[in-house]
Structure 1
Amino acid sequence: MRQTWRWFGPKDLVSIDDMRQAGVEGVVSALHHIPTGALWSSEEIARRQSELSVMRDGSPSTLAWEVVESLPVSEDIKKQKGEWRAHIANYKQSLKNLRDAGIEIVCYNFMPVLDWTRTDLAYRTPTGATCMRYDFADFAAFDIHILKRGGAAGDFPEEVVAEADRRFRDMSDERKSELSRNVVFGLPGAAENFSLDDVRQHLAEYDGLSGDKLRRHLIDFLSEVVPTAEELGIRMCCHPDDPPYPLLGLPRVMSTEKDYRTVMDEIDSPANGITLCSGSLGARPDNDIPGMMERLGDRVHFLHLRNVKRETANVMGSFHEAEHLGGDTDMVALLAAVVREEKKRRDAGRADHSIPFRPDHGQDILDDLGRKAQPGYPSIGRLKGLAELRGIMTALEHPVEGITS
């Protein structure tokens, strides 16, 4: 397993020096300043590679940009409206430019309107650490009373609607503004920052789009770009929905093992793969994450290893970001499945036998609490998670006691 770390570019408060001291082997990054749908030029790609190649004192970092996260799919492509065909052409050329720069793994997602969604970005845990949290009743209060989406109350259980009503009545203006900012925070570091009016406009443009239709648009997109990726030797990998269920009356189509199997079978190519995110998928109690790795592992090209603690037993419910070994996903069982998959690949002579992973998200602890880095991406919290994951991985791969012995 190859240890990587997400970096948002020169403005990231977690530096290249921090990454080197954490002992990571490669960098996960993206050109967040380029508007979604636009071309990633060779010059911009080379600039990012140069930015991460040196430490503060000018010495070589020895790190390289190994995984793109994300080359975003535009809303026009998801809706098949507006400039979607031009955006697909730009996407294919961007893939060519990335491959020319030596990059082979490209992560993306197909979530409509909003990327990952949380109601709290600094929820205090009993230890004093803070983490991101999704509170189902707070989200309902936002959807029903702040966004005022038509028919929103019908998408929530009656008891949740009642609780949302109560919370909204007691909510200060400051909390209402904070909740709105948190929900529409969108993709971290992205060029777009949605306002409520932007969200309403996007929702109107998605009106009437069913889950089957959105999945068809995903398959149409992949039918266009996967042949290009396969020809180039690029491995594309779709990130799951986060949370993995419908939001704002919109369908979501990459939330379960069945969703992934459908798309993998429809576009049956090694270039059409999976970003297995144990946190996103783990927010649903009916997702068996180690089992998904066992059954879909040959198409897993990238791993996000994080954990969440579900606060209800329902498919749709509240959860918060837990310590990497402290949530509801059995991380030891998941890593054991990864190690077995890598052994299969080595035995089969696959060049991609080492699957890159990153310690995804993390709780803000110690000096993180004053650093105010990108929500979910603290320095020390991720280092702690990486150290825990690294320890499990080392034990599983040890020739005396491990799986590979």
Structure 2
Amino acid sequence: MKMVFRWFGEGNDTVSLDQIRQIPGVEGIVWSLHDVPAGEEWPMDKIIQVKEQADKAGLHLKVVESVNIHEDIKLGLPSRDLYIDNYKKTIAKLAQVGVKVICYNFMPVFDWLRTDLHKELEDGSTALFYESSRIENIDPLELVNKINENSSLTMPGWEPERLQHLTKLFEQYKGVTEENLWDNVTYFLNEIIPVAAEHDIKMAIHPDDPPWPIFGLPRIMTSQDNIRRFLNIVDSPYNGITLCSGSLGANPANDIVGMIHEFADKIPFAHIRNVRRYENGDFIETSHRTQDGSVDITGIVQAYHEEGFDGFARPDHGRHLWGEQCRPGYGLYDRALGIMYLWGLWDAFQRQAEGKEAAKA
């Protein structure tokens, strides 16, 4: 397991590269060019700038999250070929600086959805929260304004310049079914995976967050069956998934441990985080500690260890602790604590495995 840490860029993150390099076992950053609109080709000078910053801190930049998919690709519009061509050019540029994994998603309109960015937990910390009944009764535009209010940092997936066209986007998606979305992702994969293979970059799709339809929009990356179907579209080591235990774990029907064992060779990147589910469909993000949520983090790390996982992993969303002012879900303290918990589990399973081998000898 190769530990990495998401970083939103100089001037766009409250966490510095110097702080990241001090977290034990972290070897690289997970990055993106957040000021480049979805669909545009990434400028080489900006890519090199991030490369130089990472090199100076002694960190690699092998994982990009995300090169976002333009809505015209998801909608299957004739203009998609232009945006797919830009995507191919961006892949070629990223290969030049050593990128090995591109995380992306195929969620219509919204990349992720929460109703409260600072819901208070019992210990006084706050975390991202999803209230099911509010989603059923809220105007999507009201939610967009709430997510972006008083934010001096970018909120990936909730860019105001894109979502100002929300009404038009919803109109475009009227009549678009899950099968239409499957057709459109198939078209995308057939175009992109050969280019990714040529440049030795693994494409790793992120599950839908949360893993069910919202506001009448179709969603397809929601379950083990659907992930299996997705991976079979283009059977290639370069067509993989970002297995996010938090996104998939919001649905109690999802067996994350089973997914790891089935898809182990198609997981170049893992997001490991915990959520606490409620019977009414609500969920809140918690510490990474297994006992604090509903997701079997211990079993997940054990499954990765048993499969000899040597891909990249990062702690996902953390709580907001000790008065830290940060991008919601992406402070330093709780994610660093999460890393140490994950390493503690990994080291324990490694010691256990070594003991078994020694006993055989």
Q: Which residue of 2 aligns with 1:20?
A: 21
> How far apart are residue 231 of structure 1 and its match?
1.6
Deviation at 1:246, TM superposition (A): 0.2
User: Among 332, 336, 341, which residue is 2:298 paired with?
Assistant: 332
Q: In the alignment, is residue 134 of structure 1 matched against residue 136 of structure 2?
A: no
Cα distance 1:215–1:6, how it changes in 2: closer, same or farther (>3 A)? same
Matches within 5 A, 1:273-288: 273-288=240-255
Instruction: Rate the CA distance shift 1:39–1:96 in 2: closer, same or farther, 3 A.
Output: same
2:8 aligned with 1:8:
yes
Letter in structure 2 aligned against 1:357: A
Matching residue of 1:38:
40
Q: Is the 8 A contact 2:111 2:158 kept in 1?
A: no
Shift of 1:195: 7.6
Amino acid at match of 1:298: D
Partner of 2:5: helix, strand, or coil? strand
Count how many residue pairs are aligned between Structure 1 and Structure 2.
352
Q: Distance in 2 between matches of 1:67 and 1:111?
A: 20
CA distance change for structure 1 residues 191 and 207 in 2, over 3 Å: closer, same or farther? closer
- Structure 2 CA distance, aligned partners of 1:137 and 1:334? 30
- With over 3 angstroms needed to count, the CA separation of the structure-2 counterparts of 1:178 and 1:74, relative to structure 1, is closer
* Separation of aligned partners in 1, 2:181 and 2:237: 22
Change in 2 beyond 3 A, CA 1:9/1:403? farther
Match of 1:361 among 308, 317, 333: 317
**1:395 touches 1:402 (CA, 8 Å); kept in 2?**
no
Secondary structure in structure 1 of the residue aligned to 2:268: strand
Post-superposition CA distance 1:190-241 (Å, at most 9, x none) = 6832687522210101110000110110111001000111121111100000
Q: State the Cα distance separating 1:266 from its structure 2 match.
A: 1.6
The answer to whether the 8 Å contact 2:31/2:64 transfers is yes
Q: Are residue 380 (structure 1) and residue 344 (structure 2) matched?
A: no
The range that moved more, 185-194 or 303-312, is 185-194
Tell me, in whole angstroms, the C-alpha distance in 1 between the residues paired with 2:144 and 2:165. Answer: 16
What's the offset of the Cα at 1:4?
A: 0.4
1:119 and 2:115 matched: yes
User: Residue 131 of structure 1 aligns to a residue in which SS?
Assistant: strand
Separation of aligned partners in 2, 1:114 and 1:37: 16
Structure 1: runs of 5 or more not aligned = 55-60, 148-176, 343-352
Cα displacement (A) at 1:141: 2.2
Bigger radius of gyration, 1 or 2?
A: 1
Partner-residue secondary structure (3-state), 1:50:
helix
Instruction: Quote the residue 1:164 is aligned against.
Output: none
TM-score by length of 1: 0.82
Cα-to-partner distance string for 1:67-123 (whole Å, 9 max, x where unaligned) = 000011110110122631110001011111111111111100000000111000000
Give percent identity, aligned residues only.
37
Q: Distance in 2 between matches of 1:402 and 1:180?
A: 55
In structure 2, the gaps of 5 or more residues are none
Contact 1:79 1:206 (C-alpha < 8 Å) held by counterparts: yes
Distance in 2, Cα, partners of 1:377 & 1:311: 23
Q: 1:196–1:141: structure 2 CA closer, same or farther, 3 Å change rule?
A: farther
How far apart are 1:312 and its partner, in Å?
A: 1.6
